């Protein structure tokens, strides 16, 4: 069992930036590809970004390219989700997830481990 812990959520002004860390106490995250997903109120969970275990390849939802990045620091056993120019539609619970898969990383069904999520609210 891999326990994933997200942090960094809260109230953020529109147009601002956000950096959410995801860690796995007692686990080596570099063994896993990692993904970030989000679920807005009343909507289905959607893919945001993913990164391979080595960090050499990243994947983004088409609508979010340019504003989202998913840096990982394996030395710190941490994967981040960085968002710039936040929009109101960014209000959601953000989840990090881990998988042994090496492709098809945009599909939530391919992830076996999920964090509890962290709430992000974008304010006017």
Query: pLDDT at position 67, please?
Result: 86
> What are the residue ranges in the chain where pLDDT is below 50?
none
DSSP 65: B
Contact (Cβ atoms closer than 8 angstroms) between residue 100 and residue 85: no
Contact (Cβ atoms closer than 8 angstroms) between residue 43 and residue 49: no
Query: pLDDT at position 90, please?
Result: 92
């Amino acid at each position: 069992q891999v326990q994933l812990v997200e942090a960094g959520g809260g109230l953020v002004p529109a147009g601002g930036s956000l950096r959410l860390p995801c860690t796995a106490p007692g686990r080596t995250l570099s063994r896993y590809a990692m993904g970030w997903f989000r679920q807005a109120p009343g909507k289905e969970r959607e893919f945001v970004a993913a990164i391979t275990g080595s960090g050499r390849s990243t994947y983004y939802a088409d609508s979010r390219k340019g504003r989202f990045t998913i840096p990982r620091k394996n030395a710190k056993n941490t994967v981040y989700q960085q968002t710039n120019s936040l929009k109101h539609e960014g209000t959601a619970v953000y989840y990090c997830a881990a998988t042994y898969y090496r492709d098809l990383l945009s599909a939530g069904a391919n992830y076996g481990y999920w964090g509890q999520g962290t709430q992000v609210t974008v304010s006017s």
